[in-house]
């Protein structure tokens, strides 16, 4: 693996993904495709956040497999360990110690006002402390690498503001160390699911696995919601309200988009035929991804080596940051000798 430590002239970016196993089309369009582009422009750290994941109710026995499958997905979509650092959160324990140090400056009132905390807390009879502290661990994930920027969707903007606020409060008390990272706005906004109602999500079953075979892919697309007012084939369609058309704009060759729009508006092409074209476009995108994934599924030892090397690289930076933070907070008692 190439030594990435020489890439100091570029801005440093960190982003994380939950270890949910195989990623889906919404992950790819909303984030991962941008991650691939960013690795050529920034010094990128991509972390599989398994310590965040244990806050959920998933089976712990499945977590290692989901972690490896997520790593395979990341490598298959085009992340290159020669260009970026890919690692698993729990392999760098400094994240958790920095979270504790940040707990000394993170206001409880601000944490209680986080929108995601309020939404998720309502589902618990007894709220776990980890749910309240989730944004503090996110701040530690970012700031332990002194990242300059973070790609964020609309649902994470508030968490990034919390990270900036924690950096500001800690710096004011102990001296400048942590940058206040900027937001990198995704190239693609919220990707609506095939049901046309909500963000693409595995739990809602309204997406397509990035490694899905052709039969499953077509089955999902065939059931996708289109313009609800286009009842008959001869009814003119409204591309601006059709989610299939919105996916065409994200996935199909730009040269055919005007024709897709025109044929819909003039009822010269039915929704099923339009979905067939979208199916072909999706297959063109995911076929090379599936090919890479098959290779990594047969070479999981290589995947493990990539993750271990990434953790070694990440940890070398995290240790330096944490050591400096500990010194400034008076936790190096040997300095008194």
- Set out the domains of the chain in order of their start, with CATH numbers: 4-191+299-336 (3.40.50.620), 214-292 (1.10.240.10)
Q: Confirm whether 291 is a catalytic residue.
A: no
Question: Looking at residue 8, what is its pLDDT?
Answer: 55
For residue 245, what pLDDT is reported? 93
Q: Which is the catalytic residue, given 83, 169, 199, 292?
A: 199
- Interatomic CA distance for residues 20 and 72, integer angstroms: 12
120 labelled catalytic = yes
Q: Decide if 229 is catalytic.
A: no
Rounded to 5°, angle at Cα 254 from 213 and 256 = 85
- R_g of the chain, CA atoms, integer Å: 22
For residues 34 and 187, the answer to whether their CB atoms sit within 8 Å is yes
Considering 120, 169, 261, 292, which one is annotated as catalytic?
A: 120
Is the entire prediction scored with pTM above 0.75?
yes
pLDDT recorded at residue 2: 53
Contact 15, 153 (CB under 8 A): no
Measuring CA to CA, which residue among 302, 22, 322, 252 is closest to residue 331?
322
Question: What distance in Å separates the CA atoms of residue 22 and residue 33, rounded to the nearest whole number?
Answer: 15
Q: Of 11, 83, 169, 202, which residue is the catalytic one?
A: 202
CA atoms within 13 Å, Cβ hemisphere of 291? 7
Which pLDDT belongs to residue 43? 98
DSSP 91: G
Which residues in the chain land under pLDDT 70? Answer: 1-8, 189
């Amino acid at each position: 693996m190439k030594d990435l430590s020489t890439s100091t002239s570029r801005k440093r970016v960190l982003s994380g993904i939950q270890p949910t196993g195989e990623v889906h089309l919404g992950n790819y369009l909303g984030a991962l495709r941008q991650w691939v582009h960013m690795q050529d422009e920034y010094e990128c750290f991509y972390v599989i956040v398994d310590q965040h994941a244990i806050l959920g109710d998933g089976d712990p026995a499945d977590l290692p497999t989901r972690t490896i499958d997520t790593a395979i997905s990341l490598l298959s979509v085009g992340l290159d360990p020669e260009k970026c650092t890919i690692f698993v959160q729990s392999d760098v324990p400094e994240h958790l110690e920095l979270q504790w140090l940040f707990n000394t400056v993170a206001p409880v009132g601000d944490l209680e006002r986080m929108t995601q905390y309020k939404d998720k807390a309502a589902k618990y009879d007894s709220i776990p402390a980890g749910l309240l502290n989730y944004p503090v661990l996110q701040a530690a994930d970012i700031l332990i690498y002194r990242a300059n920027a973070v790609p964020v969707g609309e649902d994470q903007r508030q968490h990034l503001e919390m990270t900036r606020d924690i950096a500001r409060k800690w710096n004011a008390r102990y001296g400048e160390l942590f940058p206040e990272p900027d937001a990198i706005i995704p190239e693609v906004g919220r990707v609506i699911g095939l049901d046309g109602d909500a963000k693409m999500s595995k739990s809602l079953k309204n997406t397509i696995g990035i490694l899905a075979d052709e039969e499953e892919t077509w089955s999902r697309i065939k059931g996708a919601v289109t313009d609800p007012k286009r009842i008959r084939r001869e009814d003119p369609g409204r591309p601006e309200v059709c989610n299939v058309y919105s996916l065409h704009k994200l996935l199909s060759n730009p040269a055919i988009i005007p024709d897709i729009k025109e044929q819909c508006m003039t009822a010269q092409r039915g929704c099923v035929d339009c979905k067939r074209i979208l199916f072909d476009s999706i297959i063109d995108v995911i076929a090379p991804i599936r090919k890479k994934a098959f290779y990594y599924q047969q070479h999981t030892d290589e995947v493990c080596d990539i993750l271990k090397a990434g953790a070694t690289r990440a940890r070398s930076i995290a240790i330096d940051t944490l050591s400096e933070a500990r010194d400034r907070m008076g936790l190096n008692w040997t300095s008194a000798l």
